[in-house]
Amino acid sequence: MATDRSRRRALTLGAALTVAVVALYATGGVFSGLRTAANAVVSPFNWGVNEVARPIGHFFAGAVNYGDVVAQNQKLRYQLGEAQQQLNETWSFERQLEQVTTQLDVPFVGSLPTVAAQVTTLSPTNFAATIDIDKGRDQGLLVGMPVVANGGLVGSVLSTTPNGATVRLISDTNSLIGVTFGNGTTSILVSGRGVNNGLSATSVPLSTSLSPGTVLATDGLQGGLFPPGLPVARVSTVTLTPGAATYNLTLRPTADLRHLSYVDVVLWEPST
């Protein structure tokens, strides 16, 4: 009897152990399966969140970067504009300096004092030819004073104000200038023919030998309106009328009257 009871107890204990092992295995398997299932369920959500959040992050990062790019671009454009403006100002200054240097190059004036002036208005017509300048009585200018520029005589002061003056150009129809050439023994009167018609000289004696290209300069006769030696015109053509005792000249001013920006007023009066 004892042996049967012991056998039954052993069988019962073995069965209990088997059930426990099976239960533990089943429990472990269930939990593992649950974890796997949970991962399978949660993973798509994680992927979705990541895939949605990543473009949003890139969008905001791009927005911030785009704003920086725009700001930098505007700054660069501003700096480029400043550099271009400085370049233009430099070019303008150099151009103006070149004009001043060129147009005020008047070695033929010699030791006579001059006042440099800027042309403020150019008002030529077919008959009257005048310019306005920014210097006047307060700077020592008087009516009748010669006005020169690169190349030669431009005209004479017609009227003045305290800080301005009007200059009659040599091409004006009321302009009359005594000139000479060569050794200075012969004087000729040169008159204006209007802005687009240059200068002329009439009734030139046949004994006077002139040819195209000859330069005529102020004669500086006593009581004349201009000092001697200021270049006035260059001979363009010589016209001889058959049977006449004189010939006529067409002349071109030695100074460029069409592009005057700066001039020199010679502080000279006929009595000096």
Query: How much is the pLDDT for 77?
Result: 82
Kindly list the distances between the CA atom of residue 81 and the CA atoms of 68, 84, 85, 92, in Å, as whole numbers in the listed order: 20, 5, 6, 16
Q: pLDDT of 109-122, one tens digit each?
A: 999 999 999 999 88
The pTM score is 0.63
Query: How much is the pLDDT for 98?
Result: 52
Residue 100 has pLDDT above 80, yes or no: no
Query: How much is the pLDDT for 30?
Result: 41
Residue 45 has pLDDT above 50, yes or no: no
247's tokens: 């010939």
3-state secondary structure of 84: helix
Query: How much is the pLDDT for 6?
Result: 59
- On whether the CB atoms of residues 199 and 129 are closer than 8 A, the answer is no
Query: How much is the pLDDT for 200?
Result: 94
Q: What is the largest CA-CA distance in the chain?
A: 183
Phi, psi for 248 (deg, rounded to 5)? -115, 155
If you count them, how many residues does the chain have?
Answer: 272
User: Closest by alpha carbon to 129, among 215, 253, 266, 212?
Assistant: 253
> How many CB atoms lie under 10 A from the CB of residue 193?
18
